[in-house]
């Protein structure tokens, strides 16, 4: 079947459709990572987006349950240059094509994804339609222009857990594995409330690997409910959409600041900023890939990081004397981390849990553990 991509600027791209037959309207974005397509597909932060992968061949390692970052494919659609129909990996359980069909996600191959990436970098993020149901290119462009955009939907509300639960590293839904090896988890030293805005599984694994037991709460949980759970700290997860939309999370975090140590990642970083009264803005084309250089302004250390965000915190709006920028992106100078002057909370815009990507920033989980230890000694 033919695959069509129509962009709001009138561009029409053609290829071969695979996966689910149908169409989706979404924001068009790209990821430059050379590995980890399964983690990208299942990352809830991609809700409402069609992802173009710049790696020229996708599907060659197949699909396996250990590499899923959530319980389903989260992207609205997928664009690849070439689909590999033969998977060669000892962990492979099914092909990428079958996987997308089973998850009802449309995809298109045969598109020059690197040319599309250059276009998005030059002109900025665009609304688009991906269709595999015989839709004409002209109709795809028209529907792309009619789509309401990311800011009109509460995607956090779509991907968050429906009820609270204590994460089990040996549980069926979240296998306690890192790569292909089962890791023996250390004894629990702290319990933290993990506010689920679209949390990746590897975050839960790495928290637990530090002796931190996550108690996962829905994004709409109230501060009172969280404090009653007798937790030692609060973790704010990654997630999708415009960070200005889930105001209920802002309100909860605002009430928790100063009462419990807080650590936030990606959208969680933006939730902390909003709770402090700061603002966020939309980046021209976002940061999505595994090679973003970030500088720690305290130590001067530069880390190569995994990133996936289309919005950033405006550092000029942070409350003077209460919060400061701790990390910056060396490509464009945007804010990549903040911390409270009091030391009670910190957050980073990027993904120290990787999955996929480099592990340079994994020390933040240990830093959170140290913060919990220090808070425990004060009690």
pLDDT score at 198: 97
Residues 137 and 251 in one domain: no
pLDDT score at 204: 94
CA distances from 331 to 29, 37, 294, 317 (A): 18, 24, 8, 21
Task: Write out the catalytic residue numbers.
Answer: 266, 351, 353
Residues 350 and 225 in one domain: yes
Among 98, 115, 147, where does a domain finish? 147
Residues 63 and 119 in one domain: yes
Residues 55 and 124 in one domain: yes
Euclidean distance between CA atoms 194 and 166, whole angstroms: 10
Where residue 256 falls (left for φ over 0; alpha for ψ -120 to 50; beta otherwise) is: alpha
What CATH number does residue 195 fall under?
A: 3.40.50.880
Given a contact cutoff of 8 angstroms between Cβ atoms, the answer to whether 361 and 303 are in contact is yes
Residues 193 and 83 in one domain: no
pLDDT score at 186: 84
Residues 124 and 256 in one domain: no
* Domains held by the chain: number: 2
pTM above 0.85, yes or no: yes
pLDDT score at 175: 46
Q: Which residue has the tokens 């701790």?
A: 326
Residues 176 and 93 in one domain: no
Write out the chain's pLDDT in tens, 379 residues: 899 999 999 999 999 999 999 999 999 999 999 999 999 999 999 999 999 999 999 999 999 988 999 999 999 999 999 999 999 999 999 999 999 999 999 999 999 999 999 999 999 999 999 999 999 999 999 999 999 999 999 999 999 999 999 988 765 444 444 443 455 778 899 999 999 999 999 999 999 999 999 999 999 999 999 999 999 999 999 999 999 999 999 999 999 999 999 999 999 999 999 999 999 999 999 999 999 999 999 999 999 999 999 999 999 999 999 999 999 999 999 999 999 999 999 999 999 998 888 888 889 999 999 999 998 777 6
Say what angle helices 267-275 and 247-256 make with each other, to 10 degrees.
70
Among 115, 147, 179, where does a domain finish? 147
Range of the domain at 251: 155-378
pLDDT score at 177: 45
Residues 129 and 163 in one domain: no
What CATH number does residue 17 fall under?
A: 3.50.30.20
Residues 86 and 234 in one domain: no
pLDDT score at 173: 44
Q: CA torsion 18→24→27→28, rounded to 10°? A: 20
């Amino acid at each position: 079947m033919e695959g069509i991509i129509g962009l709001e600027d009138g561009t029409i791209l053609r290829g071969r459709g695979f996966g689910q037959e149908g169409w989706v309207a979404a924001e068009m974005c790209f990821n430059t990572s050379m590995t980890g397509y399964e983690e990208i597909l299942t990352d809830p932060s991609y809700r409402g987006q069609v992802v173009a992968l710049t790696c020229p061949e996708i599907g060659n390692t197949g699909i396996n349950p250990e590499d899923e970052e959530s319980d389903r494919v989260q992207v609205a659609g997928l664009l690849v240059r070439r689909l590999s129909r033969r998977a060669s990996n000892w962990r492979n359980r099914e092909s990428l094509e079958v996987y997308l069909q089973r998850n009802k996600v449309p995809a298109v191959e045969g598109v020059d994804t690197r040319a599309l990436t250059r276009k998005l970098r030059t002109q900025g993020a665009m609304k688009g339609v991906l269709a595999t149901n015989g839709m004409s290119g002209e109709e795809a462009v028209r529907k792309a222009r009619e789509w309401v955009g990311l800011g009109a939907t509460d995607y956090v509300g779509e991907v968050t857990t429906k009820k609270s639960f204590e994460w089990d590293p040996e549980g069926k839904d979240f296998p306690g594995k890192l790569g292909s090896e089962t890791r023996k988890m250390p004894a629990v030293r702290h319990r933290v409330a993990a506010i689920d805005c679209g949390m990746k599984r590897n975050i839960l694994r790495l928290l637990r690997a530090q002796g931190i037991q996550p108690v996962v709460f829905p994004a709409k949980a109230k501060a009172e409910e969280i404090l009653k759970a007798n937790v030692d700290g609060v973790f704010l997860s990654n997630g999708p959409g415009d960070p200005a939309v889930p105001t209920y999370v802002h309100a909860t975090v605002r009430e928790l600041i100063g009462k419990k140590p807080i650590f936030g990642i990606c959208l969680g970083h933006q939730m902390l900023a909003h709770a402090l009264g700061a603002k966020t803005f939309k980046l021209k084309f976002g940061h999505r890939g595994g090679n973003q250089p970030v500088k720690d302004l305290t130590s001067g250390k530069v880390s190569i990081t995994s990133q996936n965000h289309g919005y950033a915190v405006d550092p000029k709006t942070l409350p003077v004397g209460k919060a400061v920028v701790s990390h910056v992106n060396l490509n464009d100078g945007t804010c990549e981390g903040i911390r409270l002057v009091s030391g009670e909370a910190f957050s980073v815009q990027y993904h120290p849990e990787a999955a996929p990507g480099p592990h340079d920033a994994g020390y933040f989980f240990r830093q959170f553990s140290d913060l919990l230890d220090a808070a425990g000694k004060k009690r």
